[in-house]
């Protein structure tokens, strides 16, 4: 990817490994012009990783590089302090100076310029983040949460950062203002051509905004990739859980089938007899030994419904256990006759919702190409 000047955009490349003061381990890469979202539960290490990138924490071992600049390389004793890193930082709590108006707050990032020029540039950045002229002369207390966050973003950008770090920037902003900030961030991503790292608890936000997701847990990077890839092919059961994947099931991998590239997956249930359990023919990536207990997932794109009377030999008969009608969508839970205890959760909209009532019988088809099998344990 190229920046506005035609140069290769500076990628962020990170490799960290430490046990103290908290465990932190993983490698990641974010190209210029890409938005990478760090997701994971509370205490996963997202903020700690951001602190390493900003130079607020020196890792026990690690390397942080942006383009050709090495900001940290513990093996070579390199560690640039935050002020030498050209990092734009935006936090949840805005961290604005309460006694300065919006222009004054942004001007703080421009102290290297003469005063007149500082104010001109500060206004330019505030225009850029769409803060109205009237709001620009107000102090933070007289601005909404969304407006304050625009000031914080303008202040971060005024430093001409080579890396933009956003730590839960939308958490304190109400839903309506959040939508505007999402649009702003999407525009900035296109214009800036620098790597942007966003920390968020909100998976929907991450999926909507990010080119790349990094899933963290207990200080470790568990998986990274495009939101769609991680959703469709989580590396393990823990990633599936953290991504909120509902249709995760148990199974036993039986090994290759008689069709090249395809293997046999027995769909087991807790307490059910395994002889009676149905066997699916799905993609075989050759990574799992025969006989191993597995988890498997199927995304909603891989699930289709048919009439109960049209159930074929590879389909499943199901019963509607729950149908919650929420405005334009219905959340449905189905139980499958062949797999006691297995529950399939679906979101339905439009005509598919018609006649979807408690107790109704229905046929379910799974697309074997979209079934993803993974090891049972996290690793």
Ligand X SMILES: Nc1ncnc2c1ncn2[C@@H]1O[C@H](COP(=O)(O)OP(=O)(O)OP(=O)(O)O)[C@@H](O)[C@H]1O
Binding site for ligand X (CB under 6 A): 21-22, 40, 42-48, 201
Closer of 41 and 341 to ligand X (Cβ): 41
Strand order across the 279-283 sheet: 279-283, 262-268, 248-256, 293-297, 372-375
CB of 46 to ligand X, least distance (A): 4
CB of 274 to ligand X, least distance (A): 39
CB of 226 to ligand X, least distance (A): 21
SS (H, E, C) the chain: CECCCCCECCCEEEEEEECCCCCEEEEEEECCCCEEEEECCCCCCHHHHHHHHHCCCCCCEEEEEECCEEEEEHHHCEECCHHHCCEEEEECCCCCCCCCCHHHHHHHHHCCCCHHHHHHHHHHHHHHCCCCHHHHCCCHHHCCHHHHHHHHHHHHHHCCCCEEEEECCCCCCCHHHHHHHHHHHHHHHHHHCCCEEEECCCHHHHHHHCCEEEEEECCEEEEEECHHHHHHCCCCHHHHHHCCCCCEEEEEEEEECCCCCEEEEEEECCCCCCCCCCEEEEECCCCCCCCCEEEEECCHHHEEEEEHHHCCCCCEEEEEEEEEEECCEEEEEEEECCCCCCEEEEEEEHHHHCCCCCCCEEEEEECHHHCEEEECCCC
CB of 18 to ligand X, least distance (A): 11
Closer of 29 and 201 to ligand X (Cβ): 201
CB of 328 to ligand X, least distance (A): 31
Cα→Cα distances 90→152, 153, 344, Å? 6, 6, 40
CB of 54 to ligand X, least distance (A): 12
Closer of 40 and 104 to ligand X (Cβ): 40
CB of 41 to ligand X, least distance (A): 7
Residue 254 token pair: 């039986």
Cα→Cα distances 155→17, 106, 220, 363, Å? 31, 4, 31, 56
Closer of 45 and 161 to ligand X (Cβ): 45
Closer of 21 and 98 to ligand X (Cβ): 21
CB of 167 to ligand X, least distance (A): 8
Closer of 44 and 230 to ligand X (Cβ): 44
CB of 45 to ligand X, least distance (A): 4
Closer of 69 and 202 to ligand X (Cβ): 202
Closer of 67 and 219 to ligand X (Cβ): 219
Cβ-based neighbour number of residue 298 at 10 Å: 21
Closer of 215 and 305 to ligand X (Cβ): 215
Closer of 224 and 250 to ligand X (Cβ): 224
CB of 40 to ligand X, least distance (A): 6
């Amino acid at each position: 990817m190229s920046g506005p000047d035609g140069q290769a955009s500076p990628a962020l490349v990170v490799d960290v490994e430490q046990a103290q003061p908290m465990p932190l381990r993983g490698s990641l890469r974010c190209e210029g012009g890409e938005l990478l979202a760090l997701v994971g539960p509370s205490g996963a290490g997202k903020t700690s990783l951001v602190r390493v990138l900003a130079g607020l924490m020196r890792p026990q071992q690690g390397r942080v590089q942006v383009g050709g600049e090495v900001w940290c390389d513990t093996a070579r004793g390199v560690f640039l302090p935050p002020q030498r890193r050209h990092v734009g930082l935006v936090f949840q709590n805005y961290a604005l100076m309460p006694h300065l108006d919006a222009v004054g707050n942004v001007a703080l990032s421009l102290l290297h310029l003469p005063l007149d020029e500082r104010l001109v540039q500060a206004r330019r950045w505030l225009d850029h983040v769409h803060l109205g002229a009237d709001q620009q002369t107000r102090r933070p207390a007289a601005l909404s949460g969304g407006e304050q966050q625009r000031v914080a973003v303008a202040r971060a950008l005024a430093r001409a950062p080579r890396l933009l770090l956003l730590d839960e920037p939308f958490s304190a902003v109400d839903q309506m203002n959040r939508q505007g900030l999402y649009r702003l961030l999407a525009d900035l991503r296109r214009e800036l051509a620098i790597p942007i790292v966003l920390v968020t608890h909100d998976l929907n936000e991450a999926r909507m905004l990010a080119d790349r997701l990094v899933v963290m847990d207990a200080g470790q990077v568990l998986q990274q990739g495009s939101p769609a890839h991680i959703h469709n092919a989580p590396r393990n059961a823990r990633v599936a859980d953290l991504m909120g994947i509902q249709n995760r099931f148990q199974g036993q991998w039986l090994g290759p089938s008689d069709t090249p590239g395809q293997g046999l997956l027995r769909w087991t249930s807790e307490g059910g007899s395994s002889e009676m359990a149905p066997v699916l023919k799905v993609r075989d990536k050759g990574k799992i030994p025969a006989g191993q207990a597995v988890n498997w997932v199927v995304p909603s794109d891989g699930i289709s419904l048919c009439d109960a009377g049209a159930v074929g030999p590879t389909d499943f008969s199901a019963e509607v256990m729950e149908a919650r009608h929420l405005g334009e969508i219905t959340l449905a839970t189905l139980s499958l006759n062949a797999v006691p205890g297995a529950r399939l959760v679906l979101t339905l909209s439009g005509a598919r919702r018609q006649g979807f009532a408690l107790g109704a019988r229905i046929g379910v088809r799974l697309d074997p190409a979209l079934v993803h099998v993974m090891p049972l344990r996290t690793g």
